[in-house]
Amino acid sequence: MQFINACKAYGDKIILKDLNLNFEKNKITALLAPSGYGKTTLLNIIAGLEFLDSGSFI
């Protein structure tokens, strides 16, 4: 799975901006960041509960 130039905003608040991230197959990945940095949004996009405003998730 990978995010390519992924962007997501809620109104005027930008959550993800030009995110490029690759998750390797059969590897465990941890998402570590302070509150409000988009971790839950990222997981919701992976789960199909939310969609990117631009960019791609493949």
Q: Domain holding 13: CATH number?
A: 3.40.50.300
User: How many domains does the structure of the chain reveal?
Assistant: 1
Structural contact between residues 5 and 19, judged by C-beta atoms closer than 8 angstroms: yes
Which residue range is the domain that position 11 belongs to? 2-57
pLDDT for position 38: 94
Residue 20: pLDDT band by 50, 70, 90 thresholds?
very high
Mean pLDDT of 7-29: 96
pLDDT for position 32: 96
Structural contact between residues 7 and 57, judged by C-beta atoms closer than 8 angstroms: no
Mean pLDDT of 19-38: 94
pLDDT for position 58: 94
Nearest CA to 21 out of 41, 12, 10 is that of 41
Percent of the chain with pLDDT over 90: 98
pTM beyond 0.85, yes or no? yes
